[in-house]
Amino acid sequence: MSYRFPAICLLFAITLPLEAHAQEGDPAAGATVFKKCGICHVAETDQNKVGPSLNGLFGRTAGTHPNFAYSQAMQDAGKAGLVWSETSLRDYLHDPKAKVKGTKMAFAGLKDDTDITNLIAYLKQYSK
C-alpha cells in the first residue's frame, strides 16, 4: 500500500508532459493534414497559388495578403476586424462558410479537433 502513492505520482509525472504536448499539436502530423490544403495553398514560401500564401498567417488581417484576389466577403471580414489567430483560424477551419459567409474557398472544413490543432502547429512554423 505504501508503494501506490509513489506509483501514482510517477504516472502523473509521465503523462502530464504528454498531455501538454498533445494540446500544442504535432507539426509533423499537421504537415500530413496540410496536404488537403496544399492543393490551393503554400506555407513554406510567400507565394500565392489558387489560394493565398499561408506563410506568416498568424497576426495577419484577413483578406490582406498582397497580390491575391480575395472575395469581397473575406475583405469585409478583415475590415470588420478578423485577424488570424489560433482561435479565429480554428473556427474558420471547422466551417469556413459559416465563419466568413460568402468566402470563395470551396473547402468544407475539418471536423477533427486534433487535425486542426496539428495543422495550426504546422502553420505556426511558418509564421515566425
Q: Are 43 and 26 in contact (CB under 8 A)?
A: no
Over residues 46-71, the mean pLDDT reads: 97
Mean pLDDT check: name the lowest of 11-20, 59-68, 97-106, 114-123: 11-20
**Cβ neighbours around 51 below 10 Å, total:** 19
Mean pLDDT along residues 9-21:
45
Query: Does pLDDT of 2 surpass 60?
Result: no
Question: From the centroid of its chain, how far is CA 53?
Answer: 13
Mean pLDDT of 48-66: 97
Amino acid, single-letter form, for residue 76: D
Binned at pLDDT 50, 70 and 90, residue 24 comes out as confident
**Cell reading at 28:** 509533423
Query: In angstroms, rounded to a whole number, what is the distance separating the alpha carbons of residues 42 and 63?
Result: 16
Instruction: Render pLDDT for 25-36 as a digit per residue (tens, 0 to 9).
Output: 999 999 999 999
